[in-house]
A and B are shown apart, each in its own frame.
Chain A
């Protein structure tokens, strides 16, 4: 039969949504494949077990790190750094970005400044940050802050600019002044986009966290991984990678849940 009947879709159909069941099975399959290859490669001796420990060993090590070695403390410090630096960056970026997106006069002042900084890789500041702030928490927080703040300002500004002119003009003809227009129309209109932008930028904060902790820290997940490297503990390094991945995923899910909870009206599209 050369022409498949329309009732029996082929596996590859252009833009045809898959069922929930197929989506779940596909997701499981790709991970089973990944761990399967890893397991076979390490157990069969195809690779040096010192460099690639088996997944079973990595999970045992991860368990031990939590139970016996106080890994939770390192995780706590890392999470705290990310959350604090990200909160500071957001506290500056959201109001500034909204103002820049609303008032061209404010944009004219800050946009040339912000876009220049955006092209400077934040890690290039590590040496000077270490000289200014020493070895405490400050240089790490500063790096995370610098790495994320200019991108977040730009994203918030761009999203604010997409708030439709008619919404603003409606507010004005209802008698709104500038303050009411910004706080009661522009801000709520753009807030869902801001929360999405924050979710994306939080992932970037994790990237800078690992850089900060690998380069200049004795605490945190990144520092633990660098210690493990010194003692050739590949299993511990891989544990660190897995935990960072899991934390990133967890924060992403939290943000998605917050988005649903904050903006119920976006869920009920007809």
Chain B
């Protein structure tokens, strides 16, 4: 029995185009996500990485293959796979506290427990001072923190993130990347993160699944071995660690090869 929580087994997605033509966006993608690990889906644009993530979330239906969470096949969206999007998704009519309580409230968690968990996760993402603020009063980075706390407080088995920091400025983006390392350890949740930022991928990933484009296929699974099985807590430390530069160069080469197929 492996310790994997999520299995993708030859998952494909074909979109029907006009005049009976078809477009295969994702072609027989297989990989596993180990318990409490961070998997990054990386690849050039057009590699279908967002589509793979949306299929895991149950927001799109695969046209082939199977996705299983634990023992259960994925057939639609559910609270066990919470998703954070690149676009801001704060519920503007609710305070930060009520945003974070939202998932628990609709799932019938009692008020006292809801409150306690919400406060815990708001503290974890560093927004304790803004419990009663409305999202419109917060910066972009803070809104993403609210979205992350809201998803985690709902107790998912997997946190799915689709280029969650893509809209943030460089400095905020790093802070958020470092925050995710803390969050992964404290929340004990597996994560799948989609990005096209190589440095972000190497920093966050326990495993990188590199996808090639047109159609999206798994080109290579990369374990950043230079981290020696652990995680690195700061970006400065990352770029100083021996092995980082080689891995970055290798992934850049993969990206470039993909570009030449066009």
Contact = CB atoms under 8 A, between A and B. Distances in A.
A61 to B, nearest CB: 48
Nearest to B104: A174
A266 interface: yes
B160 interface: yes
Given A166-B89, A185-B91, A173 B136 contact: no
Contact of A265 (B93, B102, B107): B93
A167 interface: yes
Main secondary structure of the interface of A (DSSP, over half): helix
Contacts of B147: 170
A169 B83 contact: yes
Interface stretch (B12-20, B74-82, B225-233): B74-82
Interface in A220-270: 263-266, 268-270
Contacts, number: 73
B59 interface: yes
Choose among A167, A184, A265 the residue with the greatest number of B CB atoms under 10 Å from its CB: A265
Contact of B154 (A164, A175, A264): A175
Nearest to B86: A166
Given A174-B150, A265-B93, A270-B136, A169 B106 contact: no
Contact of B83 (A164, A170, A265, A266): A170
Interface string A152-191: 0000000000001011011111111000100011001101
Interface residues of A, number: 24
Contacts of B144: none
A167 B136 contact: no
A188 B106 contact: no
Contact of B137 (A169, A171, A172, A270): A270
A164 B79 CA distance: 20
A166 B85 contact: yes
Interface in B71-120: 77-79, 81-83, 85, 87, 89, 91-93, 102-103, 106-107
Interface residues of B, number: 28
Interface string B113-149: 0000000000000000000001111000000000100
A243 to B, nearest CB: 37
B205 interface: no
B103 A188 contact: no
A174 B79 contact: yes
Contact of B92 (A169, A170, A265): A265
B52 to A, nearest CB: 15
Nearest to A164: B87
B134 A189 contact: no
Given A270-B136, A270-B137, A172 B77 contact: yes
Given A167-B89, A173-B59, A268-B137, A180 B106 contact: yes
A262 to B, nearest CB: 10
Nearest to B80: A175
A202 B57 CA distance: 43
B151 interface: yes
B134 A175 contact: no
Interface of B: 57-59, 77-79, 81-83, 85, 87, 89, 91-93, 102-103, 106-107, 134-137, 147, 150-151, 154, 160
Closest 6 CB pairs of A and B: A175-B79, A174-B103, A172-B77, A265-B134, A173-B83, A170-B89
28 contacts: A166-B87, A167-B89, A169-B57, A169-B59, A169-B83, A170-B83, A171-B106, A173-B57, A173-B59, A173-B83, A173-B160, A174-B79, A174-B103, A174-B106, A175-B78, A175-B79, A175-B106, A185-B91, A188-B93, A191-B93, A263-B93, A265-B92, A265-B93, A265-B134, A265-B135, A266-B92, A268-B136, A270-B136
Given A167-B91, A173-B83, A173-B160, 20 more contacts: A164-B87, A164-B89, A167-B89, A169-B57, A169-B77, A170-B89, A172-B77, A173-B78, A174-B79, A174-B82, A174-B150, A175-B103, A175-B154, A185-B91, A188-B91, A189-B91, A265-B92, A268-B137, A270-B136, A270-B137
